[in-house]
Amino acid sequence: MVIALIGHITENTMCCVLQSLAQIPSFILPEANRYPSAPLHNTTRRQKNALKIVASTGAKTKTRSQEDDYHATLKALNSKGRTPRKSLGQHYMLNSAVNEQLAAAADVKEGDVVLEIGPGTGSLTNVLVGSGATVIAIEKDPYMAALVRERFANTGRVEVLQEDFTKCHIQSRMFSYLEADSVDAKFQYAKVVSNIPFNISTEVVKQLLPMGDTFSEVVLLLQEEAALRLVDSSLRTSEYRPINIFINFYSDPDYKFKVPRTSFFPQPKVDAAVVAFKLKQAVNYPPVSSTKGFFSMVNSAFNGKRKMLRKSLQHICTSVEIEEALGKVGLPCTARPEELTLENFVSLYNLVAK
């Protein structure tokens, strides 16, 4: 495959290759590129994206653009002279069925405000807009930001922010959009629906989940291994980490479905999966006097993962006090961090915090 040669040719040469590939008849392309895997259901070709107002009745008629497939993605990239950038973790979705299932997982509907991180060529944006949502798209790559801005300029439903999500203050930005529509209860909370770069998935999760006062749902397409580790890590395993405590403290996670690697361009070395996080409100967080102090204790516990808690938490109180607290929680004095559930950690913190 030509894609396998990317690392050995210049960007200009790659642009020429992309332009040539975009002109190849579909019957010559490999089967996986002609018909990207659709694990859930088949999709039909969409008409051009627009939101038409029927003047006589005021009713809204939704239509969508042509399906975002292999050719459409190559054409969009070529229009900006771009190649997928490994440093940004760029893998573009070729399967419209997956985008529709992402939107469905968050129950995106008419009037919703949706944050999309890293829209790429706008294939998921297209589905979100077609569902009647207003999309706030944040894109680090200026070329992709311009492409999405141009593609949806006539819809009046897409705002593109050219920023690095991991460094921006997205909560204050979202409040400005939500406050503008605060007269309507359905705008009280926004949603997040994104196919994010695998290399920033943990950062994105840590930044979004404590924002239950802004978002109700966070639906992310992640590397499958990471998705399984974040959602369903069991006690007493090497995969059980502080991030599992964090996720369950702030949300109720749910593994939705697997997405095969053949759905992306360029094809990554791993499969992906969709996870939905239903965010908790502050009143529903586990009762601790200080969330900062609580997670500081959790992180300290796991810093010495193979150590017993009576040793790794000695900076908080004495070993004897920790042993007594563990006994009150119903755990042995030799307990290690991978043996404690979220509820165990909460109870332990409330007993030893000073």
Please state the residue numbers annotated as binding site for S-adenosyl-L-methionine: 91, 93, 118, 139, 164, 195
Measured over the CA atoms of residue 261, residue 264, residue 51 and residue 172, the dihedral's sign is positive
Annotated binding site: 91, 93, 118, 139, 164, 195
- Give the strand pairing for 264-265 and 92-93: antiparallel
* Residues ≥6 apart with Cβ < 8 Å to 257: 39, 40, 101, 273, 274
Q: How many helices (H) and strands (E) does the chain have?
A: 14, 11
DSSP bridge partners of 215? 190
CA dist 170 and 85 (Å) reads: 24
Helix locations, the chain, DSSP H = 11-21, 31-34, 70-79, 96-105, 123-130, 142-151, 170-179, 201-208, 224-232, 242-250, 291-303, 309-312, 319-329, 342-352
> What's the distance, CA 61 to chain centroid?
29
Q: For residue 102, which phi and psi values (nearest 5 degrees)?
A: -60, -50
Nearest to 80 by CA among 144, 169, 11, 1: 144
